[in-house]
């Protein structure tokens, strides 16, 4: 298979398995609902320990009316039964009406 065909197949595969729908996250014991959730596929990424590991990224847009303050970086939260750590939070501007929380999880590597 040529490199161009392989890249096109990977792009189609990623698009099929990426999900975007209404979602909620649980931080501590509080659930925040009504966000737009994008849950990406598992991909190989370079971890902080210097190794290639499978990682899954997600982002959720939560209105500030539902979540008053942004979670701190590396705060853990649950989304669709999966535990993620906050990787980045956007929306700190006073004019912004929502938080954009980006999280990452590092599932165990298959043996």
The whole-number mean pLDDT for each consecutive block of 10 residues of the chain, a chain of 111 residues, reads: 72 52 83 86 86 91 90 91 93 91 86 53
**How much is the pLDDT for 17?**
44
**How much is the pLDDT for 84?**
94
**How much is the pLDDT for 108?**
79
For the chain, domain boundaries: 19-105
HSE at residue 68, side-chain half, CA atoms within 13 A, is 1
**How much is the pLDDT for 76?**
93
Q: Per residue in 3-16, is it b (16+ CB within 10 Å) or e — as a string?
A: eeeeeeeeeeeeee
**How much is the pLDDT for 9?**
67
């Amino acid at each position: 298979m040529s490199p161009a065909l392989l890249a096109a197949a990977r792009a189609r595969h990623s698009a099929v398995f990426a999900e975007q729908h209404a979602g909620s996250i649980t931080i501590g014991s509080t659930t925040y609902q009504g966000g737009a959730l994008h849950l990406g596929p598992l991909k190989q990424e370079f971890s902080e320990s210097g190794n290639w590991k499978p990682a899954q990224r997600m982002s959720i847009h939560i209105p500030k009316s539902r979540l008053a303050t942004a979670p701190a970086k590396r705060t853990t939260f649950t989304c669709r039964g999966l535990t993620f750590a906050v990787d980045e939070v956007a929306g700190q501007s006073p004019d912004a009406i929502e938080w954009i929380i980006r999280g990452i999880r590092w599932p165990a590597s298959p043996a």
